[in-house]
Copies of this chain bind each other. A is one copy, B any other.
C-alpha cells in the first residue's frame, strides 16, 4: 500500500490536470484563437455570453442540490447552501453584458442553450445528484480558479471590442468573488476529503466538467459560423451588432 498523499500533493495533482486540460482547450479553441488574434466580433462574443448566461443560471441550483442531498455532513452542507446563496442571480450579469453590446433596443427571445451547453448543465446536475457527495468540489476547484487562464483573454477581448468595465460585469464580479471562493474551496477540500476515492471523484469531475466547457467553447464557434452563413436563425438578432 502506498503512503497517502499529503493535502498539498493532492492539490498539485489537481493543478497539473487542470493545466493540461486548459492547455488543450486554449490551443485548440477557435474562439480562443479569435480572441488572441483580435478578430473576435461582438456576435461571436455574444453567442459565448449567452451560453454563459444559461449554464450560470443552473450553478446555484446544482450547488444547492448537493446540500439537499448531503445535509448529514453539516460542515459541507452549510458550505453548499452558502455557496449557492452567493451564486444566485449571477446569470443576470451575463445577460446584462450581452445587452450592453448594443441590443437594448432589439426585440428577441434569448436563444436556448446550445446542445454542448446543455450537456455541461446535465453533467453538473448529475454529479450533484448522485455519486460521491464531495465530487462537485472538482467543478468549483477549476471554475473558481480560472481567472489566471481567462484574464488575458478578457483583456484582449475588451480591447478588440472596446468594452468598458460596465460592460464586463460578469467577469469583473467573478474575478473579485472567486479569489475568496477559491480559498473557501481549498479549505473545504482540506476539511472534508479523507479518502483517496474522494480525491479521485473530485479529479474526474474536475477534468470532465472542464473538458465539457471546452466542448462548449468549440460549439460556440460552430454556431458563429452557422450564423455567418445564415444557418442559425435564432441568432439573427445579432446582426444588429454588425456595424457597431
List residues of chain A with CB under 8 Å of any chain B CB: 57-58, 60-62, 64-65, 67-69, 71-72, 74, 77-78, 80-82, 84-85, 88-89, 92, 115, 118-119, 121-123, 125-127, 204, 207-208, 212
Contact = CB atoms under 8 A, between A and B. Distances in A.
B78 A85 contact: yes
Given A57-B71, A82-B85, A118-B123, 13 more contacts: A58-B71, A64-B67, A64-B80, A65-B68, A74-B88, A74-B92, A81-B81, A81-B84, A118-B126, A118-B127, A119-B208, A123-B123, A126-B126
A110 to B, nearest CB: 13
Contacts of A92: 74
A197 B61 CA distance: 26
Contacts of A64: 64-65, 67-68, 71, 80-81, 84
Contacts of A84: 64, 67, 81
24 contacts: A57-B72, A60-B77, A61-B67, A62-B68, A64-B67, A64-B80, A67-B81, A67-B85, A67-B88, A68-B68, A74-B89, A74-B92, A77-B85, A78-B88, A78-B89, A81-B82, A81-B84, A81-B85, A115-B208, A118-B127, A118-B208, A119-B208, A122-B122, A122-B125
Contacts of A81: 60, 64, 67, 81-82, 84-85, 88
A77 B71 contact: no
A67 B60 contact: yes
Nearest to A74: B89
A58 B70 CA distance: 11
Contacts of A57: 71-72
A121 B131 CA distance: 13
Nearest to A201: B112
Given A118-B123, A119-B119, A126-B122, A68 B78 contact: no
A63 B204 CA distance: 27
Contacts of A126: 118, 121-122, 125-126
Contacts of A115: 204, 207-208
Which 9 A-B residue pairs are closest in the complex by CB-CB distance? Answer: A74-B89, A122-B126, A81-B85, A115-B208, A81-B84, A78-B88, A64-B68, A122-B123, A122-B122
Contact of A119 (B77, B85, B212): B212
A60 B71 contact: yes
